Amino acid sequence: MRILVLGGTSFAGRHLVELGLARGHDFVLFNRGRTGAGLHPGVERVVGERSGSLDGLGGRTFDAVVDMSGYFPPDVERSAGLLADAAGRYLFVSTRSVYADTSGPGGPCRASPLTTDASLT
């Protein structure tokens, strides 16, 4: 399976790629190139910014896209739009923006209600 990971060198993406490589999957990583330069030798890397140009991803096809680095809804919308016809599946991994209040100590918690902001869905 050919998988594009947006991120892939830190957080959970790093582990996803390690497990996938062990199972024989082929990966392409799109990230800023600032973290984990020595990770995943031999894996293709496309350096770019989520809020900037996504040109390095155009014209490619993937079995799946795993989005591990979407912090702002407009950035996720742009990459999902660009890759809508390029992949069989698009998996977005995030819980940060689902909570109505993230201002308290420790960030979101179970007591914080989920947001009803339609722009985040």
Domains and CATH numbers, the chain: 2-120 (3.40.50.720)
Half-sphere exposure of 101 (CA within 13 A, CB side): 8
> What are the helix (H) ranges across 4-91?
11-22, 73-83
Higher pLDDT, 120 or 14: 14
Is the pLDDT at 109 greater than 90? The verdict is no
The total of other beta-carbon atoms located within 10 Å of residue 21's CB is: 14
Closest CA to 107 of 95, 117, 115: 95
Q: What is the pLDDT of residues 57-92, one digit of tens each?
A: 989 999 999 998 888 888 889 999 999 999 999 998
Q: How far is it, in rounded angstroms, from Cα 74 to Cα 57?
A: 17
Average pLDDT, the chain: 83
pTM above 0.85, yes or no: no
What's the pLDDT band for 52 if we cut at 50, 70, 90? confident
